Copies of this chain bind each other. A is one copy, B any other.
Amino acid sequence: MTDIAALIAALPEIEWLTDRALVRQRSRDFFWYSPVLKRQLNGVTAAAIACPRDEAGVIRVLAECHARRIPVTPRGAGTGNYGQAMPIRGGIVLDLSALDRVLWVKDGVLRVQAGARLAAIEAETIPRHGLELRFHPSTRRTASIGGFIAGGSSGAGSVTWGTWREPGNLLGLRVVTMEAEPRVLELRGEDVQQANHAYGTNGVITEVEIPLAPAWPWVDMLCGFADVMDAARFAEALTASDGIVKKLACVVAAPVPQQYFRAYDGLVPDGTHLVLAMVAAPFVDHALPLLARHGGRLLHQVPTAEAPVPAYEHSWNHTTLQALKHDRSITYLQTLFPPPGHLALIERMIATFGDEVPMHLEFVRFGGQVACFGLQLVRFTTEARLAEIIRLHEDAGAPIFNPHAYTLEEGGMKQVDAAQLAFKRAADPLGLLNPGKMLAWDQPDWTPEAPRTHYIFGGAAGEVEEALEWKE
């Protein structure tokens, strides 16, 4: 009897998936947006998937796995892009999707189980309370709230509210530890940062408490510009307009909309650069003068709820996905263009790379300022060239949050998060939660210059063409 078979036998009340194809599917995310991760992670699979129905089940699974020293990788809906919830050292995947209940909504605050899908949450809060999520990823229709917090950072709405890191966006997290007798902790205030964006490496999030925002009738505005820098300046000015309620200020340079946005066929003239804006209906009239002043014109507007494909499914990482549907060689970057020199730097990068790195910008709030992330597309040739493109950006002053690496530190702030590491020491002393993802754990002295020594469970697999999981 294998360890896993014994584990499953010990927990008959838990639903288990063991079918090999199903287990492999539930061990994966959208890592294949990156040709590097596709090579590295394609062979990754868990031994089994545990699907507890409630927190008591989560505790039972963690206790048993702790006793048997079996790695556990928590997973929401698996919509990550860097293998956040992929079990690179095997063991089991802990599928939290059955923990999907909205617990309460009170005074504008939502308490919800971690596995609830974003769209399902809003299907409940919008009609009942007139409230919706402050921000969501472009995978709103499929992603879970716990997965978004553990593996994401921002999305449509961050143009107003910033990221999960911003104080006040995340009010509380309920977390189960990985110990002989798992503890249930309620993290509040600043302590939420210990488990925020930690890929589930230092605790299993079972409940989430977040403030909601008013559910406005949103309008998708397609704004066309002859000059991509005018487009960027308009998106920036819109982001700076505190009086205008908005959810998206996304710049997509030509020829990306023309080549890849089928839902917008016939709407975007050749050579026209696009700003995709989501603005609450009463404010559209007040965004138009701003648009005109920046040399743009309204190409199309449609209530978001009536759009065949909403603007947010052309933004954030759906920009990449829309391109990937047409060209499997496309990949992308995640870039910070730091103010105040961000516009000049963007212009310089466009001039440097041309159509090899088509520009895609998302304007957001960051620490109370207008900030600008690049999620540029990359027409991939070789890993060496990709690494060079990244290096050239960083040398120019535009740090890359590398979406071609699966560790927290390489994808994120490039430094050890002391609070997350300390929390892992207390909450997962044996290092069994999502092992291999926190460099600080495996190599406490790691710095960006140090060589990487950790390995990938299953080794580097051969190229396997991935079936793209279309959202429509």
B211 to A283, Cβ gap below 8 A?
Answer: yes
Q: Is A368 an interface residue (CB 8 A)?
A: yes
Specify the chain B residue showing the minimal Cβ separation from A293: B190
Specify the chain B residue showing the minimal Cβ separation from A171: B282
The number of chain A residues with a CB under 8 A from chain B is 43
By a CB distance below 8 angstroms, the chain B residues around A367 are 240
Give the contacts of A250-309 with B (CB-CB under 8 A). 280-283, 285-290
Contact of A282 among B190, B211, B245, B288 (CB under 8 A): B211
Q: Is A162 an interface residue (CB 8 A)?
A: yes
Specify the chain B residue showing the minimal Cβ separation from A159: B242
By a CB distance below 8 angstroms, the chain B residues around A365 are 242
By a CB distance below 8 angstroms, the chain B residues around A245 are 108, 168, 211
**Shortest CB–CB separation between residue A306 and chain B, in angstroms?**
15
CA distance in complex: A370, B369 (Å):
8
A286 to B167, Cβ gap below 8 A?
Answer: yes
A168 to B243, Cβ gap below 8 A?
Answer: yes
Q: Is A392 an interface residue (CB 8 A)?
A: no
The secondary-structure label for the interface of chain A is mixed
A217 to B289, Cβ gap below 8 A?
Answer: no
B107 to A216, Cβ gap below 8 A?
Answer: yes
By a CB distance below 8 angstroms, the chain B residues around A242 are 160-162, 166, 168, 365, 368
A216 to B108, Cβ gap below 8 A?
Answer: yes
Contact of A169 among B190, B214, B243, B289 (CB under 8 A): B243
CA distance in complex: A214, B167 (Å):
19
Specify the chain B residue showing the minimal Cβ separation from A170: B243
Specify the chain B residue showing the minimal Cβ separation from A213: B214
User: Can you give 15 A-B contacts (C-beta < 8 A)?
Assistant: A107-B281, A108-B280, A108-B282, A161-B242, A162-B242, A166-B242, A167-B287, A167-B289, A168-B241, A190-B289, A211-B245, A211-B283, A213-B214, A239-B368, A242-B365
Given contacts A161-B243, A162-B243, A242-B368, 5 further A-B contacts (CB under 8 A): A168-B241, A168-B244, A189-B286, A211-B283, A240-B369
